[in-house]
Structure 1
Amino acid sequence: MTAPAFKSSYALLMVDSPLRSAAFYRELLGLEPIEAQATFALFALETGLMFGLWSKHTAEPAPGAPAGGVEIGFKVANAAAVDAAYGKWLETRDVRVAQTPVNLDFGRTFVMLDPDGHRLRVFSTPE
């Protein structure tokens, strides 16, 4: 028996308030959610990835770990795009800087934290 071909199509974060988080990500990503309820919000990203925000108070089963143990990565075209994204994201309400733009082994990057402490990494690989 062969294993099914899995294709990543969905990312879900457990958050305190999906509506508050949806407002944050609307501003950060420049996208409108395709669904926004008190317990769940959903964005359709250009890559085809569905990005959901589920209330940690109503999720089943309840989450067992705090935020910050996983990163959501956003790859951009080049180092200049990393720096531009950093400037734009600094204008976003409720964003916290975890790492300013820096060159690491894999390329240029920075990390911000959302209102719940989830890590959001913007990066580019060497040109």
Structure 2
Amino acid sequence: MSTPSMIIIYVDNPQKSADFYRQLLGAEPVEHSPTFALFVLNNGFKLAMWSRHTVEPAARATGGGAEICFLCEQPEQVDALYQQWLGKGLTIAQHPVAMDFGYTFVAEDLDGHRLRVYKLNEESSV
């Protein structure tokens, strides 16, 4: 069986999205063109942005249909990222809150894709 290794999100403007994620991730894209950008993170995860205007075959989704999750080891890390992202002007869809799976908040990128930061409860296995 193959293992998923990358997510592609459809964006309105890959150059603007790459700038947004460059600041958010503290990383440089390894590939960048007017229609596509790709980040390869330290853990091997690949995050790509493809222009929703040029993706082939044409996509039915127009943006905002994905949730990218950022796992933290401590609740304090969730709070720290929340404050950091607030300072960068990110739209916050959900302020830090304890939920059944753990402690979390949700921000949004330029296209409305959700960015969930969370610390799992000790008993959760997700």
TM over 0.5: yes
CA displacement, residues 2-26 of structure 1 (integer Å, 9 cap, x when unaligned): xxx1212001100001000000001
Q: Match of 1:67, as an amino acid?
A: G
Show the counterpart of 1:96. 91
Cα displacement (A) at 1:68: 2.7
Residue by residue over 1:14-54, the C-alpha shift from the partner in whole angstroms, topping out at 9 and shown as x without a partner, is 00010000000011111111111110000011221111000
Task: Pick one of 44, 51, 54 that aligns with 2:50.
Answer: 54
Counterpart check, 1:109 vs 2:104: yes
**Across the two proteins, how many residue pairs are aligned to each other?**
122
Cα drift, residue 90 of structure 1: 1.4
Q: Which amino acid aligns with 1:123?
A: Y
Distance, in Å, in 1 between the alignment partners of 2:49 and 2:94 is 23
Provide the aligned C-alpha RMSD in A. 1.1
Task: Kindly indicate whether residue 23 of structure 2 is the aligned counterpart of residue 27 of structure 1.
Answer: yes
Alignment gaps of 5+ in structure 1: none
Structure-1 residue corresponding to 2:13: 17
TM-score normalised by the chain length of structure 1: 0.91
Letter in 2 for 1:117: G
Contact 2:52/2:62 (CA < 8 Å) preserved in 1? no
CA distance in 2, matches of 1:70, 1:115: 12
Amino acid of the residue matched to residue 52 of structure 2? Answer: K
Q: Deviations over 1:69-112 (max 9, x none)?
A: 3211110111111001111111224x211001111011110101
Conservation of the 8 A alpha-carbon contact between 2:63 and 2:111 = yes
Q: Distance in 2 between matches of 1:19 and 1:43?
A: 13
- What one-letter code is carried by the residue in structure 2 that aligns with 1:83? D
Contact 1:11–1:52 (8 Å) recurs in 2: yes
